[in-house]
A = this chain, B = another copy of it.
């Protein structure tokens, strides 16, 4: 027997139906969490007297053994309906029907599967937050190493104003910071105990959910049993947060692709991070950046997949919910590998100062500085803007740039022509002149870096505290000779 429910049917499950409906190829990777949650359930059954201390020990021994067997590749999962069946059936084989058959007391797969998913996701949130921090650190490091590099800042992909390369990188740092915060916030709603909700309505047996919560380090138990077994919000919320994260990576990927194109030539990518062509021997392609951008579709669509699955489902558990796993596992897997590689790619791109400097001279990048100068002289901004616009039109129509500016170009405003005009239109000076909080000036960028370091340190501290509590729970329940 490889499922947990056969007794009332007249026939065995059709072979093809079994193949179609099994979730083991997907949920096998939940084995750690199934063992973990089962151990806590077992301890609780012991505590409330539903099994004896001896039975409890036997079950825990069996669970540990199963964990090790799986880790060592000794169990073939394919005959089982799902990971829960595998663990329970193997347990009964191992320690006998009499004791093994007691583990599922006051538990349903409906509350068990969401427990497993919550344990899985809680742990992965920590890993993903670390992954984001790793990219953030790479950005911070790269910013710090290149503090004095000035480049054109763009709007509409047109040169707009000069900015520090470091400031541009730090924009990504703060985007990613929100991604970490979203994971932290979502974690509060992941980190809630569903177990003890039974199939949908709870149980008449004298279980102790608060005790299970304590064993598994959940700060709260879910309030309503019907909600608990129907709820997949916690997955959707994470998938939504990962989608935004990937949008950020797609933008960073796009910029690396643009900047490493000879058209811009702003970045050099280390050869070890580029690939070539099967036909064009000269090619050196920014494949990693392209893949980061391209994988966005898979992650965003994971969220879409699950929303479609959930739409219009009546309460409580419906088998459709099994389809939460492919998008969840896919998104988490892509996220972990992409973050790691995004961090390393960031470490392996190098600004080309020469090209950036050259690009600064194109596009009247400091025209706004002229406006601001006029404003300081008391000209209303809107007039200053119109006036400088006229000057740019004149220069541009004769192929000139701001450096070709002469006093006589200022017509009626000649009295306002600045003595230090060369300083005003100098792009590096423009950057240094910026005064506002959060601007691209070196001193503000310095503050951003400082703030960034603090945020990183806090984030790491937090993830570390999560991990510590999770590890403790595992070690108390399963640990003995079983690596976390």
Please, which residues of chain B bring their CB within 8 A of the CB of A273?
Answer: 13-14, 17
Are B247 and A7 in contact, with the CB atoms below 8 A? no
* Given A155-B285, A156-B287, A277-B5, A340-B16 contact (CB < 8 Å): yes
Within 8 A of B (CB), among A23-52: 50
Please, which residues of chain B bring their CB within 8 A of the CB of A98?
Answer: 380
Residue among A4, A161, A174, A388 with the most chain B CB within 10 A?
A: A161
Report the bound CA distance from A181 to B255 in whole Å.
35
Pick from B225, B261, B340: contact of A157, CB below 8 A: B261
Residue of B nearest to A262 (CB): B362
Are A434 and B313 in contact, with the CB atoms below 8 A? no
Can you list 30 residue pairs at the A/B interface with Cβ under 8 Å?
A3-B276, A4-B276, A7-B389, A11-B272, A20-B337, A97-B383, A98-B380, A105-B375, A154-B200, A155-B283, A157-B257, A157-B318, A159-B262, A161-B200, A161-B201, A163-B200, A170-B224, A175-B233, A198-B279, A199-B280, A202-B438, A204-B433, A206-B435, A223-B438, A254-B312, A293-B312, A297-B304, A297-B308, A298-B326, A303-B303
- A458 beta carbon closer than 8 Å to chain B: no
Report the bound CA distance from A297 to B232 in whole Å.
14
The smallest C-beta distance from A101 to any residue of chain B, in angstroms, reads 3
The smallest C-beta distance from A280 to any residue of chain B, in angstroms, reads 5
Residue of B nearest to A172 (CB): B227
The smallest C-beta distance from A416 to any residue of chain B, in angstroms, reads 15
Counting every copy of the chain, the complex holds: 4
Please, which residues of chain B bring their CB within 8 A of the CB of A308?
Answer: 296-297, 300-301, 307-308, 311
Report the bound CA distance from A386 to B440 in whole Å.
46
The smallest C-beta distance from A247 to any residue of chain B, in angstroms, reads 5
- A61 beta carbon closer than 8 Å to chain B: no
* Given A158-B262, A171-B315, A309-B294, A288-B101 contact (CB < 8 Å): no
Are A200 and B153 in contact, with the CB atoms below 8 A? yes
Please, which residues of chain B bring their CB within 8 A of the CB of A337?
Answer: 19-20
* A265-297 interface code vs B (CB 8 A; 1 in, 0 out): 000001111111111111111111011011111
What would 12 more interface pairs be, CB under 8 Å, given A153-B226, A300-B311?
A6-B389, A17-B344, A20-B338, A101-B382, A153-B316, A156-B290, A160-B280, A170-B224, A201-B439, A202-B436, A226-B440, A236-B240
Within 8 A of B (CB), among A294-337: 294-298, 300-323, 326-327, 337
Are A108 and B279 in contact, with the CB atoms below 8 A? yes
Are B199 and A253 in contact, with the CB atoms below 8 A? no
Binding-face segment, A71-79, A126-134, A366-374, A470-478: A366-374
Pick from B13, B202, B293: contact of A434, CB below 8 A: B202
Binding-face segment, A114-122, A390-398, A406-414: A390-398
Please, which residues of chain B bring their CB within 8 A of the CB of A231?
Answer: 175
* Given A171-B224, A255-B315, A284-B9 contact (CB < 8 Å): yes
Report the bound CA distance from A315 to B253 in whole Å.
11
Please, which residues of chain B bring their CB within 8 A of the CB of A351?
Answer: none
Are A282 and B205 in contact, with the CB atoms below 8 A? no
Are B301 and A237 in contact, with the CB atoms below 8 A? no
* A339-374 interface code vs B (CB 8 A; 1 in, 0 out): 011001000000000000001001111011101100
Are A5 and B380 in contact, with the CB atoms below 8 A? no
- A243 beta carbon closer than 8 Å to chain B: yes
Q: Which 4 A-B pairs have the closest CB atoms?
A: A202-B439, A7-B389, A5-B276, A294-B320
- A92 beta carbon closer than 8 Å to chain B: yes
* A89-106 interface code vs B (CB 8 A; 1 in, 0 out): 000100001111111111
Report the bound CA distance from A393 to B5 in whole Å.
12
Are A221 and B383 in contact, with the CB atoms below 8 A? no
Are B393 and A278 in contact, with the CB atoms below 8 A? no
Are A102 and B380 in contact, with the CB atoms below 8 A? yes
Please, which residues of chain B bring their CB within 8 A of the CB of A319?
Answer: 156, 275, 285-287, 290-291, 294
- A142 beta carbon closer than 8 Å to chain B: no
Are B170 and A181 in contact, with the CB atoms below 8 A? no
